[in-house]
Structure 1
Amino acid sequence: MLAAQNLFSYYGKSPILQDLNFELASGKLFTILGRNGVGKTTLLRTLMGLTDRTEGRLTFNGADIGSTRTSDRALLGIGYIPQGREVIPRFTVRENIVMGTFARRDGKRTIPDYIFELFPILREFIDRRGGDLSGGQQQQLAIARALAMEPKMLILDEPTEGIQPNIVQQIEDVILRLNREMGLTIVIVEQNIPFARRASDQFILMDKGRIALAGQASDLTDEVADQYLTF
């Protein structure tokens, strides 16, 4: 479903990502790991066309998307939940979720029922402003907004960072359910090693803008974590 070949990504004239190569099959969960500042978020932004320019080849479902606009990538079925969530604080929960439907090809503006099954609190707070929710509830809202577009692939940037512990488990369970029960392809930046081991079909470890190691969950040993992830 997603593949990069000799991929470089730039901010200005500086290459932040250098010579990345990976492939992700449909229905798999792909985890991106690494210390702060190694290029993980830049990789997600590159997938969405949010860096200044790229070189190399980036394909989604066989189509080259390297020069495709961000809005058109969303229409292709790529949903993105960035760091900071970017919930619109003055919009209600309903209005925030409906925003996601504008990336649907069928033009429907209805909220899929399963979203409220995944996140019951959002039904309870449907008319509450997004800015009045807790951080964890806003993260649930951001995921719900992306799901409203009925994506083929979901990209999440550290979805449990700074979230209260009781909601962290809920979000992790939803991610696993989306992937394993609903077959949604997921790309996630994650710092929680136990969750990465439990959830991943494959992972890459990044260092200084390059892929230092790639493998399956069983390859994410304590020794690997100590070498590449310990600060």
Structure 2
Amino acid sequence: MFLRCIRAENRKLHASPIWFLFFLLPVLSAAYGTVNYLGNLGILSVSWYALWTQHTLFYSLFFFPAMVAIYASYLWRLEHLGHNWNLIMAVPVRPFALFFSKFVIVFKLVVLTQLFIFFLYCFCGKVFASLPGWPPIETLVFLLRGALGGLSVIALQLLLSMMIRSFAVPVFLSLFGGIIGMLAVSQGHGLYWPYALMQYGMNSNRSEDLLAGNYLPFFASCLVWLLLIFTIANMLLTRRDVKG
């Protein structure tokens, strides 16, 4: 039944309008980052790493949380229409399987988005910044860490979209969460806020590695936030119907 849930969620993506945003928002993010890099060459080094800091500044802070929120709200949209929620709760499958199937689909979209972001980073570095060679291997590590840090953002946005019938409100909350995450990272408290974990993983706008090889607290924080949000979602789904 779980695999059937995943297939059902996948079908929602066919000819979906979110694919337009899937391509548009990363392109806008890359454009902002590249323009910011080229406009600050007086204080930035001419390097792939400096370009990475500018690309991830806009992406991790604004575009990634907004994209995840849009993905999550879109997947919950059908359940919030009419009396569909009552029908969903009556199907012979554990309610949490529905939530987790949406989590798997959004994570798939996030992985594809991360790959597209890296492609745009390489393209802008070669075409517009005229950087020599290719990006350092560290940027691929940051990309993987960012996907891991984004797991809690995916789970939290799915939880918010499950509870809130509005499409726009969870998106607004994601932007607010990203800003709080930036402040948390700047104060050294990023591990205590889910939206900051993605910024930590991507090493957003930093000349030094925020983790500096100390991965255990980062992994632990990702796991704790993920389990906490999953637990809350499961309690809401099994103990009462969620009203939008």
| Both structures adopt the same fold (TM-score exceeding 0.5) | no
TM-score normalized with structure 1 length? 0.26
TM-score normalized with structure 2 length? 0.25
Q: Which has the higher strand share?
A: 1
Larger radius of gyration: 2
